C-alpha cells in the first residue's frame, strides 16, 4: 500500500549574514515533510512491514523534493538528516519502522552517494509539535562543520492517526564554522565516518 | 539601510483534509526575509525612507516565492502579507511593509494601477475587469521573539469578499527575528480552502471589479 499523503510541506532556509558577517556563498538547507495516515494507529500491530515500505517510498520522494527546492544537482548535496513525529494513536516504534530499515537507500540515490549514516530523531507529538532534525555530512559523519539541525513542524499535524515524516538536505554546513575537527577537504568518504 | 540576513521559503501541497482528495492539490506558499532593523533600540521619527528602500526587496521576494511555487502567475488566486518585528523594534516598523509588500505581489500578478496613487493610499475607479490583483492585500503584524508564529491572512486577489478564499497560513522562521531583526512575509496560494463549502460570493461570480465583489 502506498503512503496515504494528506499534505507535503517544503521549506528552504538561506543564511546570507551571520553576526554581521557575510556568509559567502550563503548556506542553504531544505526540509521536506509528508503528513501521512498511520496504518497501524489505534492498535498493537506486530509486523510493521507496511510502515517500512512507506519509509522506502518517502525516502525517495522527500529527498528529491529537497534537492529540487535547493535547485542543485544531487551530487552537490552535502549533509542530510531524517525524523518522524508520531500522532498520539500510534507508537514510537512506528517512527522507527519508517526511518530505519529502508528510508536511507532511496534518499542516498536522491543525494548521490551518502556513505555516512543518516542522523535521525523521533518523538510522539500533537498538532504543531516541533522536532529538530539532526544533520551530518552525507559522506563522512565526523565532519565537524556540518553537525547541525533544522527545526521541522507542521501547524495542523500530526492528527492522532497521522505521522509527520521529515527529510533535510543541505548544500553547505553551518554559517561560520570555526571549531576545528575533520574538514570537508579531508574527507576520504569510504567508511562513512571520515 | 537594507541588509537581508536570511531568506526562508515555505510551501504546502494539500491533497485533502479528510474529505475528497483534490484532483489538483492546493498549493500554498510563503516567503520570509529576515532583515536587520535599522531603527532597533531607539525611537526614530522618520522611518519612511525605509518604505521606499523596501520596494525592490518586495519585488524580489514576490518573484522568488512564485518561482519556489513553480506555477505560472495566472494560477495564483489568493495573497496576504505580514511582518514580525524583533524585541528591540516597534510595531510601526512592521507597518513599513504595507506599501512595498502589497505592491510587489500585485504588480507581479498583473495589477495595472498607478504606483504613486497606491503609495498614497488613494483608491481608483474601475469598470469591467481592468486587470488582476484588484483586492487589497490583507495583512497582519506583531512584535515577537525568535520563532514567533504569524497567521498571515489570505483573500482572493480580485475580490476580497470571495468567501471560499478566506484563509490564513501560519508562518514562522525558526531562530528569527532576533531583537534587532524584522521578518517581512509574503504569501500566495493557488485556490480556495481545500474543502470550501460555506456559501457566499464565489470567484466565478465576481462582477463589480472594485476589489471587493
Could you tell me if B12 lies within 8 Å of chain A, comparing CB atoms?
yes
Q: Is the pLDDT of residue B111 over 90?
A: no
As given in the structure block, the three cell numbers for residue A22 are: 557575510
Q: What is the mean pLDDT of residues B25-54?
A: 97
Cβ–Cβ gap B9/A7 under 8 Å: no
Under 8 Å CB-to-CB from B96, ≥6 apart: which residues? B47, B48, B50, B51, B54, B83
**SS in 3 state form for chain B?**
CCCEEEEEEEEEEECCCCCCCCCCCEEEEEEEEEEECCCCCCCCCCCHHHHHHHHHHHHHHHHHHHHHHCCCHHHCCEEEEEEEECCCCCHHHHHCCHHHHHHHHHHHCCCCCCHHHHHCCCCCCCCCCCCCCCCCCCEEEEECCCCCCEEEEEEECCECCEHHHCEEEEECCCCCCCCCEEEEEEEEECCCCCCCCCCCECHHHCCCCCECC
Give the CA count within 13 Å in the CB-facing half-sphere of B11: 25
**pLDDT per residue over A120-177, tens digit each?**
999 999 999 999 999 999 999 999 999 999 999 999 999 999 999 999 999 999 999 9
DSSP state of A180: -
Q: Is the pLDDT of residue B119 over 90?
A: no
Q: Minimal Cα–Cα distance from A191 to chain B, Å?
A: 34
Could you tell me if B15 lies within 8 Å of chain A, comparing CB atoms?
yes
Cβ–Cβ gap B10/A6 under 8 Å: no
Could you tell me if B115 lies within 8 Å of chain A, comparing CB atoms?
no
**pLDDT per residue over A1-60, tens digit each?**
899 999 999 999 999 999 999 999 999 999 999 999 999 999 999 999 999 999 999 999
Whether pTM exceeds 0.90: yes
b/e map A40-69, b = 16+ CB within 10 Å: bbeeebeebebbbbbbbbbbbbbbbbbbeb
Residues B151/B134, Cβ–Cβ less than 8 Å: no
**pLDDT per residue over B50-107, tens digit each?**
999 999 999 999 999 999 999 999 999 999 999 999 999 999 999 999 999 998 999 9
Q: Is the pLDDT of residue B125 over 60?
A: no
As given in the structure block, the three cell numbers for residue A79 are: 549533509
Cβ–Cβ gap B174/A15 under 8 Å: no
Which residues in A lie closer than 8 A to residue B3 (C-beta atoms)? 17
Q: Is the pLDDT of residue B130 over 90?
A: no
Residues A86/A130, Cβ–Cβ less than 8 Å: no
Mutate to test the interface with A, among B4, B12, B29, B32 (most CBs of A within 10 A): B12
Higher pLDDT among residues B55 and B111, named by residue = B55
Residues A124/A86, Cβ–Cβ less than 8 Å: yes
Dmax over CA atoms of chain B, in Å, equals 53
SS3 at position A8: strand
ipTM surpasses 0.95: no
Instruction: Return the pLDDT at B126.
Output: 56
CA distances for B210 relative to A125, B127, B139, B164, angstroms: 45, 8, 19, 18
Amino acid at each position: 500500500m502506498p503512503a496515504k499523503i494528506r499534505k507535503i510541506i517544503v521549506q528552504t532556509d538561506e543564511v546570507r549574514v551571520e553576526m554581521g558577517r557575510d556568509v559567502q556563498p550563503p548556506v542553504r538547507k531544505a526540509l521536506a515533510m509528508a503528513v501521512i495516515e498511520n496504518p497501524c494507529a489505534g492498535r498493537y500491530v506486530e509486523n510493521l512491514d507496511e510502515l517500512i515500505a512507506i519509509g522506502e517510498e518517502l525516502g525517495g520522494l522527500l529527498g528529491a523534493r529537497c534537492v529540487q527546492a535547493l535547485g542543485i544537482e544531487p551530487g552537490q548535496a552535502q549533509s542530510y538528516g531524517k525524523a518522524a513525529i508520531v500522532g498520539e494513536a500510534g507508537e514510537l516504534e512506528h517512527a522507527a519502522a519508517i526511518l530505519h530499515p529502508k528510508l536511507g537507500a532511496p534518499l542516498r540515490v536522491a543525494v548521490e552517494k551518502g556513505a555516512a549514516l543518516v542522523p535521525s530523531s523521533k518523538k510522539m507529538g500533537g498538532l504543531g509539535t516541533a522536532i529538530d532534525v539532526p544533520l551530518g555530512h552525507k559522506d563522512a559523519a565526523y565532519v565537524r562543520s556540518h553537525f547541525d539541525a533544522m527545526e521541522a513542524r507542521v501547524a495542523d499535524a500530526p492528527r492522532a492517526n497521522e505521522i509527520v515524516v521529515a527529510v533535510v538536505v543541505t548544500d553547505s554546513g553551518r554559517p561560520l564554522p570555526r571549531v576545528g575537527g575533520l574538514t570537508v577537504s579531508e574527507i576520504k568518504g569510504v567508511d562513512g565516518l571520515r | 539601510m537594507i541588509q537581508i540576513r536570511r531568506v526562508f521559503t515555505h510551501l504546502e501541497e494539500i491533497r485533502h483534509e479528510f474529505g475528497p482528495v483534490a484532483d489538483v492539490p492546493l498549493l500554498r506558499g510563503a516567503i520570509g526575509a529576515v532583515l536587520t532593523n535599522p531603527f532597533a533600540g531607539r525611537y526614530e521619527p522618520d522611518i519612511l525612507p525605509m518604505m521606499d528602500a523596501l520596494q525592490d526587496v518586495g519585488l524580489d521576494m514576490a518573484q522568488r516565492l512564485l518561482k519556489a511555487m513553480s506555477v505560472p502567475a495566472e494560477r495564483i488566486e489568493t495573497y496576504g502579507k505580514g511582518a514580525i518585528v524583533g524585541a528591540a523594534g516597534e510595531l510601526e516598523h512592521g507597518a513599513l511593509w504595507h506599501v512595498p509588500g502589497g505592491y510587489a505581489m500585485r504588480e507581479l500578478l498583473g495589477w495595472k494601477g498607478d504606483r504613486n496613487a497606491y503609495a498614497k493610499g488613494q483608491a481608483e475607479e474601475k469598470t469591467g475587469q481592468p486587470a488582476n490583483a484588484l483586492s487589497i492585500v490583507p495583512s497582519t503584524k506583531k512584535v515577537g521573539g525568535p520563532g514567533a508564529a504569524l497567521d498571515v491572512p489570505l483573500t482572493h486577489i480580485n475580490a476580497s469578499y470571495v468567501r471560499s478564499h478566506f484563509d490564513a497560513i501560519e508562518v514562522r522562521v525558526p531562530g528569527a527575528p532576533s531583537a534587532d531583526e524584522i521578518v517581512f512575509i509574503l504569501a500566495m496560494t493557488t485556490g480556495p480552502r481545500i474543502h470550501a463549502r460555506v456559501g457566499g460570493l464565489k470567484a466565478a461570480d465576481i462582477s463589480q471589479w472594485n476589489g471587493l465583489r
